[in-house]
Amino acid sequence: MDSRTVLSPLPPDDVLTVRLAAGDEEAFRLVLDRWSPGMLRLARDFVSTRASAEEVVQETWMAVFRGIARFEGRSSLKTWVYRILVRTAKARGVKEQRTIPMSGSLPEAESDAGPTVDPSRFRGPDDPYPGHWRPGQAPAPWNAPEDRALVSEVRRVIGDALAALPARYRVVLSLRDIEGYGSDEVCELLGITAGNQRVLLHRARAQVRRRLEEYFGAAEGAADDEL
């Protein structure tokens, strides 16, 4: 049996909002437990220390509790909370002189220009199938590991890959692929254009996938050497 805790679904936003506005402690506990870990991860990308990120989350919840009666339901409740979080984290980051440039202001080494995959892996324009993978260059399929130790190792590799991303890449990837926000919501939360969001997400995913490709390639090579 899977030992992981299965979280019960939250009430619908209209019900949850009424309960929060009425001071329902159980409702507060539900959203605190459910959303705080993701909020902390996101805040950490804007500020200099984990302690500072924790303070941002605390300030966000205080603002939510004070302002819940003014929530109008124009977005989801979670999006409204995250909007407050991002605004609070950005303000704290400015005070700490730590900002996240979302476009166009990083050195060339970290710019959003250039290919995300080595062009030599693709067939050239004179090939019968230009733009397709060259033989032996296509990404190998990955089999999901069943061994818990291997699962833990893959998670570590992914975590290291996320930590190595430029902050603006990591923020967009976290919101889209970890927190599950749509592109329009991410653009609204971060104040970026749809095109910029697509570029940042594509490059973030490409870098994480490249790290996983390297890991699985090395693991396969090691296995072959043992035969």
What lies within 8 Å, CB to CB, of 192 at 6+ separation is 102, 103, 186, 200
Q: How far is CA 196 from the centre of its chain?
A: 15
Residue 112 corresponds to which tokens in the numbers above?
């959003």
Beta bridge partners, 122, equal 133
| Residue range 141-150, pLDDT digits in tens | 555 556 556 6
d(CA 53, CA 68): 22
Place of tokens 């570029």: 199
Domains of the chain: 13-95 (1.10.1740.10), 108-226 (1.10.10.10)
More confidently predicted of 185 and 96? 185
Residue 39's pLDDT band (cuts 50, 70, 90): very high
d(CA 27, CA 20): 6
Residue 220's pLDDT band (cuts 50, 70, 90): low
Beta bridge partners, 133, equal 122
d(CA 15, CA 153): 40
Length of the chain: 227
Place of tokens 């506005």: 21
| Residue range 3-26, pLDDT digits in tens | 445 567 888 999 999 999 999 999
pTM over 0.85: no
